[in-house]
Each structure stands twice: as C-alpha cells, then as structure tokens.
Amino acid sequence: MIFTLIPKPRKNVAGEIVLITGAGSGLGRLLALKFARLGAVLVLWDINKEGNEETCNMARDAGATRAYAYTCDCSRREEVYRVADQVKKEVGDISILINNAGIVTGKRFLDCPDELMEKAFDVNFKAHFCPSLLPILEPEYVVRKIVDAILQENVYLCIPKFIYVLMFLKSILPTKLVMLIGDYVGAFNFMDGFIGKKKN
C-alpha cells in the first residue's frame, strides 16, 4: 500500500553482469539497449550471430562499458552449458538473467510438425532451467532472506526464486511430468557436490 503512494527505490544495476538470451532482435535488443544506458555489463546470447553482434555494437554506442556477444542455440542443452562455462571464465558470474529467447510458431497447435513443437518446447520452456546459470548463493544472503521472510510472516520462501515456478507447475501438471522436469533440471542432484564444513 505504501509503495503506491511513495515509489519503491529502484535497484542500481551499474556494473551488474546481465545475460540476455535472444538478444539479436526484438525485445532482447531493446532490453540490451535499456540495460546499456543503465551502466550494466552485457552478455548477449542469440542463435543469430550477425544480429547479436549488431545488438552488441548498438549497446556499446548506447553507453555499455562492456558488452559481449555469444552465439548460442538455447534449445541445445550441451551448447548452453558450454557457453555458460565460457561466460563464467571470460566475463564472470551472472547476477541478472533475462531468459528472453523464444520461438513463435505462427501456426495453430495441430498444424505444427513434431520437430517444430520440440524446438519450441526446448527454447521456450526447458532453456529457462539451466543449472549452469544459477547463482552460487552466499550464506549471508540466504540468512538475510530467511530472516526477512520470517519477520514478514511469509508462508513460503524459495531460493533461488525460480523454485516458485516449479511449485506452480507442480500444482497444475501431472506428477510424472513434474518428476521428469525435476530430473531434467537436476533438482534431485543439487547437493551431490556439497561438502560440509571441515572439522578442525
């Protein structure tokens, strides 16, 4: 209620590393130009190398201090992992991820060939759950979020926030499909590499 009368302070994204998928045209390009003017470091992904490089140049002209263009087919899981690793090495950890890449078939559902439906599903849905792009959560951040949730009497707290999407899907999709999605995104293996605090 109070923020309808007094605007909530806007986050300063200057220096933040922002990854935008589907940056070669349309909304992705507009998002890149907007974040360039806000001083963000841009990591631009698109399957269209030429369009993506054009966006990168436009972003630099718009004021981006650093902008990087990577060619990536977001429907190919192995390619997403490979490019994500390359970005981590060359640019750093992503702090803001905008999953904008998508395929619009332009056809009625029953008129779409199987391969087009699979490609659309791979890009429009599965690419949104790439464990390689998930942030490493700092303990101080997690503690702060937990305490804030308790003090605000929140019923649920999901960290990272994309877990809310999975909770919603769980409420509307068949159990077997939810299990398949969970297995695909590695939800059952998140703690495999966890090493507890070493004893002195």
> How does pLDDT run across 137-146, given as a tens digit for each residue?
677 777 677 6
Distance of CA 164 to the CA centre of its chain: 14
> pTM to 2 decimals?
0.60
What's the whole-number mean pLDDT along residues 159-186? 74
What's the whole-number mean pLDDT along residues 62-78? 91
pLDDT 10s digits, 110-131 = 666 666 556 555 554 555 555 5
Domains of the chain, with CATH numbers?
A: 14-136 (3.40.50.720), 137-190 (no CATH)
Cβ-proximal residues to 70 (8 Å cutoff; 6+ apart), any chain: 43, 44, 45, 52, 83, 86, 87
What's the confidence (pLDDT) of residue 87? 96
Sheet containing strand 67-71, edge to edge, reads 67-71, 41-46, 17-21, 96-98
Contact yes or no for 44/33 (Cβ under 8 A): no
Nearest CA among 126, 97, 139 for reference residue 186: 126
Give residue 40's identity as a one-letter amino acid code.
A
Give residue 106's identity as a one-letter amino acid code.
G
What's the confidence (pLDDT) of residue 188? 63
